Structure 1
Amino acid sequence: MENNQYDLLEVLDYIEPAELSYQDWINVGMALNYEGYDVSVWEEWSRRD
């Protein structure tokens, strides 16, 4: 993870993956990637349900 202005991991605590549409779920993964987070962060978050 690079030096991000915001810690997106804290934001993910408030988003339930199962409640998202497929496109919104993909958008979360793309946003994490854009901000320099490893894909494992998205995978772990996605498995929460």
Structure 2
Amino acid sequence: MPMVVNTSFNDNEEPIVCTPQDAVRCYLTTDMDALALGPFWTAKA
């Protein structure tokens, strides 16, 4: 499955994501199209 992996997952001037909670917060507050977290996948409409 093709995918893009960002090895420094964070928003500009924010610390690197370290927890699932950080990942969800970053996803909700940025222009990311989708988030894969463990067995879960979510995409913005």
User: Which of the five TM-score ranges fits, normalised by the shorter chain?
Assistant: 0.3 to 0.5
Higher relative contact order (CA 8 A, sep 6+): 1
* TM-score, length-scaled by structure 1: 0.34
| Bigger helix share | 1
| Bigger strand share | 2
